[in-house]
Amino acid sequence: MDMVITESQQNWRDLARDFAKRKLEPATEWLEGEQFWDNATKLADHGFLGLTLPEEYGGMNLNLFDALLIIEELCRVCPTSGRHAYHASMGIASFINHLGNEEQKKRYLPLVTSGKLFVSLGMSEPEAGSAATDITTTAVEDGKHYRLNGSKVFISDAHLADLFVVYARFGNTGRTSDIGAILVERGTPGFTIGPNEENMSGEIQCALYFEDAMVPKENVLVTENAFKKLMGVYNGVRLGFLSQTLGITQAAFDRTIEHVNQRKQFGKEIAEFQGVQWMVSDMYVQLETARTILYRAGEAASDNKPDKNAVSVAKIFVAEAAQKITDTCIQLHGGYGFSKQYPLEWYYRCVRAASIAGGTLQVHKNMLASSVLDRKISQRK
């Protein structure tokens, strides 16, 4: 269909598709260790680690929509590489790009775009998930440092990261205005990364612990009116995650089309059965609608900052569609879909995360309702 993209966007998509075909192995699990860093070098060599970052730091200076197209194509073949590309451009590294000072950008962004530095986000805490403003990690001034105390949970890829964007309270009024963010390097005294914890999709997440961790003051990212700014940047992370989800869903769909066209039962290909044809059509409608809504959110981003309602609409539709589509893909593979010998069940487990990570669907529905009804709706008692 592709009625929503321009010729130049089609060219970016083709470039990513061609790169993925030639340079990436089709993956059926998350890549770790040497494989991860080998692919990081390939991605960096082709400019894919820093899609939306300025050229002076090794980025491609693309707009967010173009970046979404590229990430989707990479994820269609190798979700780890697509995820790395979004982390490094419109994902966690974009906190430094949008909120960091010149010194911080010069110090960290060239390392990100050259595939030498991975950055993770430390926001969620044991008692502050959906209620992100309830975080209790503190950053207290102490000479030339901030002294950090607290802990974080569910931090994706913390085992790969050497730098963390950490949300903390810089004041003690108890208000949201206390919240800011600071850059914490691996190896900082008093900062420890918990053991690897495998989630449902096989991705690694870790807890982070700060016990009088002394972080230099020059690492402060933002403290003034910070929460709103941080959540503004976080919307880019959300879109990147949805592109990943769409790419993985497309991979499941591609394999399913191949399967139903060659699998025979009752003496003919199962694609010959009307029951199967209608399932394929329903999936296609969901997939194309999800894509159009996500691209619309990419289009609605100005200065690479997405519109928050467009993000919530995309989040709700894409996450739900991805779940339904990958579920149908398993169904159309029969026992092979349920088997671990085939990647369908992995795709299904991967896209399940989209309904939780980056704010749950319910939280996005709350935010959307508040905007549509034009009412400040408090979730508190």
Out of 232, 356, 368, 370, point to the residue binding ligand FAD (CB under 6 A): 356
**Of 88, 117, 148, 155, which lies in the binding site for ligand FAD, with binding defined by CB under 6 A?**
155
Give me the least distance between CB of 28 and ligand FAD, in Å please: 18
User: Does residue 221 bind ligand FAD (CB under 6 A)?
Assistant: no
Q: Which residues of 201-228 are buried (b: 16+ CB within 10 A; e: fewer)?
A: bebbbbbbbbeebbbeeebbbbbeebbe
Q: Kindly state whether residue 245 participates in binding ligand FAD, applying the rule CB under 6 A.
A: no
C-beta closer to ligand FAD: residue 28 or 360: 360
Residue 379 touches ligand FAD, criterion: CB under 6 A:
yes
Among 231, 360, 368, 370, binds ligand FAD (CB under 6 A): 360
Encoded one letter per residue, x for contact with ligand FAD by CB under 6 A and - for no contact, window 156-195 reads x---------------------------------------
Residue type, 339: S
Angle at 9 between CA 109 and CA 82, to 5 degrees: 45
C-alpha distance across the termini of the chain, in Å? 48
Segment interacting with ligand FAD (CB under 6 A) among 38-46, 124-132, 134-142, 168-176: 124-132
Largest CA distance in the chain: 79
Of residues 292 and 360, the one with the C-beta less far from ligand FAD: 360
Stretch that binds ligand FAD, among 18-26, 76-84, 114-122, 175-183 (CB under 6 A): 114-122
Q: Cα dist. 282→273, 286, 313 in Å?
A: 14, 6, 20
Cβ-Cβ contacts under 8 Å for 112 (sequence gap 6 or more): 49, 50, 53, 57, 88, 93, 96, 118, 119
243 vs 239: CA distance, rounded Å: 6
Q: H helices of 210-360, where?
A: 226-262, 274-299, 308-333, 335-338, 344-352
Half-sphere exposure of 224 (CA within 13 A, CB side): 2
323 binds ligand FAD (CB under 6 A): no
Comparing every residue's Cβ against ligand FAD, the nearest one is 129
Is residue 121 part of the contact set for ligand FAD (CB under 6 A)? yes
Q: Shortest Cβ distance from residue 352 to ligand FAD (Å)?
A: 9
Is residue 362 within the footprint of ligand FAD (CB under 6 A)?
Answer: yes
